[in-house]
Amino acid sequence: MLKTISLKSVLISSAAALTIAGQAYAFEPARSAECIAPANPGGGWDFTCRSVGKVLVDQKYFSGNVQTVNMPGAGGGVAFAHTVSKRDSDDSLLVAASTATTTRLAQGQFPGMNSDQVKWVGTLGADYGIIAVGKDSKYTSLTQVIEALKKDPGAVKFAGGSASGGWDHLKVLMTAQKAHVEKLPKIRYLAFSGGSEALVQVVGGHVDAFTGDISEVKGFMDSGDLRVLAVLSEQRLPAPFDSIPTAMEQGIDSVAPNWRGFYVPGNASADSYDWWVKTMNELYTTQEWKDIMTKNGLMPFHKSGADFTQFVKNQTLDIKILSQDIGLIK
């Protein structure tokens, strides 16, 4: 009888151990992963995918590679629709997102889609907005641009990497609103498929000013082809961006952080989602990622899992109200 009980206990213990092990290793990442950047190469989403992909491989989360796939269109809408309709249960798919994503969701620009259709993984820093001009521009300060807009809202033509009414456009309108510019809908904005395309137009002298994020412009700053008039942050960014004045220093209370992060398909398994959240939490603490943040002007900003999901819901509502106040949507 004692032997029978002992054997039974062993069997129960073994089963329990297998169950625990099964839970601990319920999700094993595929050899490789895919990261969709919802814009052309060179912009903020592209930077997010490629930078994070490199760290994921360097830190050996994947034995293969993390492939960046550029999927421009509709201010991120094409990538969102692709994820929801064609990749809804892909555990190895990651999609770059930012405040630009919540802006489009807030304004109903992804028809028939909403934030609940995907799972929000986490953020890996915030990329502050800027307003910049080409090296030969007649404008040498944000104040001069604002004065021109007060005289004629259509006097300055802006280019950005988000769709019309998107986050890049909204940054200009928010800044102008804070500076008491009237007739905001008359401010001219040209939408491009990514920050890099918009920058080329400004540097080439075809458009007056660029509205985007600090991580998009370092190359053009280093070459001397671009002059950043203002960064939309509470205080100056650390070196090598510490020479750029804030809008607040110039009397305009405009602050526009653009978080950088990711979502995964809405029907990705719970285990894979937990793995992505845990992995991004770990990645954020690595020295390699800290160095990338410093080099590219990203400021500390980290939310993940349920906390990030609630943040997305709150930000979407806030931007919807702001967009209504400015007149972008009804």
| Average pLDDT, rounded, for the chain | 90
DSSP state of 270: H
Strand, helix or coil at 212? strand
pLDDT at 153: 96
Residue 56 has pLDDT above 60, yes or no: yes
Nearest to 226 by CA among 205, 253, 252, 251: 205
Q: What is the pLDDT of residues 143-166, one digit of tens each?
A: 999 999 999 999 999 999 988 888
Read off the pLDDT of each residue in 31-38 and give the average, rounded to a whole number. Answer: 97
Task: Look at the block and give the residue holding tokens 């952080």.
Answer: 257
pLDDT at 164: 87
Residue 13 has pLDDT above 50, yes or no: no
Residue 207 φ/ψ, nearest 5 degrees: -130, 145
The architecture CATH gives domain 128-257: 3-Layer(aba) Sandwich (3.40)
Q: Report domain extents, the chain.
A: 33-127+258-326, 128-257
Q: Which CATH number fits domain 33-127+258-326: 3.30.70.1140, 3.90.850.10, 3.40.190.150, 3.40.50.300?
A: 3.40.190.150
Query: What pTM, to 2 d.p., does this model score?
Result: 0.79
pLDDT band of 12, cuts 50, 70, 90: very low
Report the C-alpha gap between 260 and 249 in whole angstroms. 25
Task: Say whether 128-257 and 33-127+258-326 share the same fold.
Answer: yes
Give the type of residue at 196. S
Query: Which residues in 136-147 are b (16+ Cβ under 10 Å) and which e?
Result: ebebeebbbbbe
Q: What is the pLDDT of residues 256-295, one digit of tens each?
A: 999 999 999 999 999 999 999 999 999 999 999 999 999 9
Report the C-alpha gap between 172 and 189 in whole angstroms. 9
What are the distances in angstroms from CA 315 to CA 100, 101, 169, 220, 283? 11, 11, 17, 31, 24
pLDDT at 6: 46
Instruction: Report the share of the chain in percent with pLDDT over 90.
Output: 77
pLDDT at 330: 84
Task: Look at 21-25, 40-44, 128-132, 261-265 and tell me which has the smallest mean pLDDT.
Answer: 21-25
Report the C-alpha gap between 265 and 94 in whole angstroms. 8
Read off the pLDDT of each residue in 68-97 and give the average, rounded to a whole number. Answer: 96
Residue 4 has pLDDT above 80, yes or no: no
